[in-house]
Amino acid sequence: MREILLGGVPRRGLVLLSILLALLVALPIVVNDYLITVLILILYFAYVGQAWNLMMGFAGQLSLGHALYVGLGAYAAAALYVHYGVSPWIGLGASIAISAAAGAIIGFLAFRFGVSGVYFAILTIAFAEFARIGFDHWSWVGGSAGFFLPVANYTRSDLWNLRGSPTMFYYLMLAMTVAAFVLCHLLLRARVGYYWLAIRESPEAAQALGINIFRYKMYAVVLSAAMTSLGGVVFAFYYNNLFPEQVFHISRSIELILGPIIGGIGTLFGPIVGAFVLTALAESLGEIMHAFGIDIPGIKQVFYGVCLLVVVMFLPDGIWPPLSKALGLDGKRIQGGDKPGKSDTGGGG
């Protein structure tokens, strides 16, 4: 299900967006520190979810190893900072380059050799696992014992070195999420966006219309990887510690796809809505249980699993499409009744 583009969104949608944005900008003033950290988490998942969505929702390639790019981006920038004092704003160049290269390798191997579907997903898992084990044994970045960034005090915000209060990180993530959103919107309106959707819907027809499938799939993978790596940079400087077991672990990869799946793959707002709903519900659940004095590790993950199950079973397109319809935001699109992809025979044969 493809999202409407800003150009086609009724005035109502634009107004809502502006209000929402204004609210988000003003929020830290009224809200306490704990909520800010929750919001940072939401924005982080919205951002990386959008990056993943680009590959899956737009180009149709299921990646279950996206934590690879988060990790590579995180370690690259962190290593440069810790070992050479390089600011993350410069270090992110390395993060992007390395992640993009990894994405390019995976994409090349997959697309050149015709690896797709479940095989592609497994390939992505394998690479993430490879990185996890590899980094576990790489002492220059701490190995399995972990890599630590010096924690400065939070009285001064040092944006250049990304040392500062949660509020600083909040605005940073907000800016990144908005930028990601705008970027995807622009891409969807351009040739590359149309071609991605064509490839997703029917690669055979797309090729017959002059689309170089390999090239455009590569664009999607590389861009997705590069975008994700920036999320990794923030991850590193926000948490100040990196452990391969955590950063590259498959649960990270699954965590970051929950948002887009629950919100709606292939839609522009899906990842954001999904990240918000999921994190808000999970934190609320945590709070409620805490209030009752129950503390069960793993209950949050079970909750995620159940949410995912429910959405996959009953709302396969995610929350956003029916929600946007209910809010009257889905523009003039006239939906069909039948399932896409079931073509009919021509009769004669």
Decide if residue 113 touches other proteins (CB under 8 A): yes
Among 17, 82, 308, 315, binds other proteins (CB under 8 A): 308
Q: Report d(CA 83, CA 316) in Å as an integer.
A: 46
- Output the smallest distance, CB 178 to other proteins, in A: 23
Nearer to other proteins, 104 or 254 (CB): 254
Among 6, 31, 101, 126, which residue interacts with other proteins (rule: CB under 8 A)? 126
Of the candidate residues 19, 190, 288, 327, the single one contacting other proteins (CB under 8 A): 190
Bridge partner residues of 163 (DSSP)? 158
Is residue 345 at the binding interface for other proteins, with CB under 8 A as the rule?
A: yes
Pick from 189, 241, 285, 286 the residue near other proteins by CB under 8 A. Answer: 189
Dihedral sign (CA 268, 272, 278, 284): negative
Residue 186 sits in the site that holds other proteins (CB under 8 A): no
Residue pointed to by tokens 């797709």: 116
- In whole angstroms, the minimum distance from the beta carbon of 184 to other proteins comes to 15
Q: Rounded to the nearest whole angstrom, what is the least distance from the CB of residue 308 to other proteins in the complex?
A: 4
**The tokens of 297 are what?**
């590790």
For residue 235 the two structure tokens come to 């991850």
Q: Which is nearer to other proteins, 284 or 301 (CB)?
A: 301
Nearer to other proteins, 127 or 181 (CB): 127
How many residues appear in the chain?
A: 349
User: What DSSP assignment string belongs to 220-284?
Assistant: HHHHHHHHHHHHHHHHHHHH-EE-HHHHT-HHHHHHHHHHHHHH-TT-SSHHHHHHHHHHHHHHH
Q: What is the DSSP letter of 324?
A: H
Any residues with CB less than 8 A from the CB of 292 and at least 6 apart, and which?
A: none
Q: Which of residues 73-102 bind other proteins (CB under 8 A)?
A: none
Q: Which of 62, 86, 97, 285 binds other proteins (CB under 8 A)?
A: 62
Q: Which amino acid is at 148?
A: F
CB of 107 to other proteins, least distance (A): 13
Distance CA(265)–CA(52), nearest Å, equals 9
Element of type H or E holding 196: helix 191-201
DSSP-derived pairing of the beta strands 241-242 and 147-148: antiparallel
Site for other proteins in 251-270 (CB under 8 A): 251, 254, 261, 265-266
Among 15, 90, 302, 327, binds other proteins (CB under 8 A): 302
115 interacts with other proteins by CB under 8 A: yes
Tell me if residue 81 falls in helix, strand or coil: helix
246 binds other proteins (CB under 8 A): no
Residue from 28, 74, 26 nearest 48 by CA: 74
**Residue 36 binds other proteins (CB under 8 A):** no
Q: Which of 22, 287, 288, 301 binds other proteins (CB under 8 A)?
A: 301
Judged by CB, which is closer to other proteins: 4, or 227?
Answer: 4
> Counting contacts by CB under 8 A, is residue 140 touching other proteins?
no
The footprint of other proteins on this chain (CB under 8 A) covers a number of residues equal to 81
Nearer to other proteins, 162 or 257 (CB): 257
Instruction: Please name which of 338, 95, 115 lies closest in space to residue 214, comparing C-alpha atoms.
Output: 115
Residue 209 touches other proteins, criterion: CB under 8 A? yes
